[in-house]
Copies of this chain bind each other. A is one copy, B any other.
Amino acid sequence: MAPDAIDQVVELFATLPTIGRKTARRLAFHLLRQPPEFVEQFAASLVSMRTAVRECTQCCTFTDRDVCAICASPKRDRSTICVVEHPSDVMAIERTHEYRGLYHVLHGTLSPLDNIGPDDVRIRELLGRLDGVNEVILAINPNVEGEVTTLYIARQLQTLGIRVTRIARGVPVGTDLEFADDATLAKAIEGRTTL
């Protein structure tokens, strides 16, 4: 019923995460109500983002330079590396203003079932930048694949004599205990700290 040009945009929007067909249709119609200049700017921004942004040659996060702002900063503690799955995790941790070390972005997790092995994530790149590093903090998402990846990296690093830590798993701040799932609660008890 709709012109093909609209259908095509709906199809493409619907491939994006969190966007179903209904929302995709709504977004397409919204863009049709905007001035052509807005849509052109939107399209140009997408292309120039994808062209400009690449991986930092040191930590593999997204950057528009060879070396990202964090790796280039003289204020960061170069003896600590925090390993995360995605560039968005770097930003999440930066927003806490609690961490002053460097990062390393894996761009995924090991997943034998999906044929994703150590060479498909940036583990080799991590092993190649451990000169002068005292501690590696593993901040990988606490799910099955994350667990596999955490243990794999921990084992690799322990043979090199580097201190390996992982971020605490426990009850989120601001929630009620009764709403925490069993696994989280078990980890919270296991990881209890002395007052």
Residue of B25, B28, B91 touching A1 (CB-CB under 8 A): B91
Task: Judge whether A49 and B28 touch: CB under 8 Å.
Answer: yes
| Number of this chain's copies in the complex | 2
**Chain B contacts for A51, CB-based, 8 A:** 36
**Chain B contacts for A65, CB-based, 8 A:** 3
Chain A residues 9-37 with CB under 8 Å of chain B are 9, 12, 16-19, 23, 25-34, 36
Stretch at the interface among A40-48, A132-140, A153-161: A40-48
In angstroms, Cα B39 to Cα A12, docked, is 10
In angstroms, Cα B88 to Cα A26, docked, is 8
**Known: A88-B25, A90-B1. Contact between A32 and B9, CB under 8 A?**
no
**Known: A32-B62, A90-B1. Contact between A16 and B27, CB under 8 A?**
yes
Residue of B1, B16, B47, B62 touching A2 (CB-CB under 8 A): B62
**Known: A27-B17, A62-B32, A88-B25. Contact between A42 and B3, CB under 8 A?**
no
Task: Judge whether B23 and A18 touch: CB under 8 Å.
Answer: yes
**Chain B contacts for A9, CB-based, 8 A:** 45-46, 49
Task: Judge whether B47 and A40 touch: CB under 8 Å.
Answer: yes
- Shortest CB–CB separation between residue A107 and chain B, in angstroms? 8
In angstroms, Cα B156 to Cα A95, docked, is 58
A119 at the interface (CB under 8 A from B): no
A94 at the interface (CB under 8 A from B): yes
Task: Judge whether B29 and A87 touch: CB under 8 Å.
Answer: yes
Can you sample 29 A-B contacts with CB below 8 Å?
A: A1-B69, A1-B91, A1-B95, A3-B53, A3-B62, A3-B63, A3-B65, A6-B53, A6-B62, A8-B49, A12-B45, A16-B30, A16-B31, A17-B26, A17-B27, A28-B49, A29-B86, A29-B88, A31-B46, A31-B49, A32-B50, A32-B53, A32-B62, A33-B107, A34-B50, A36-B51, A39-B49, A40-B50, A43-B43
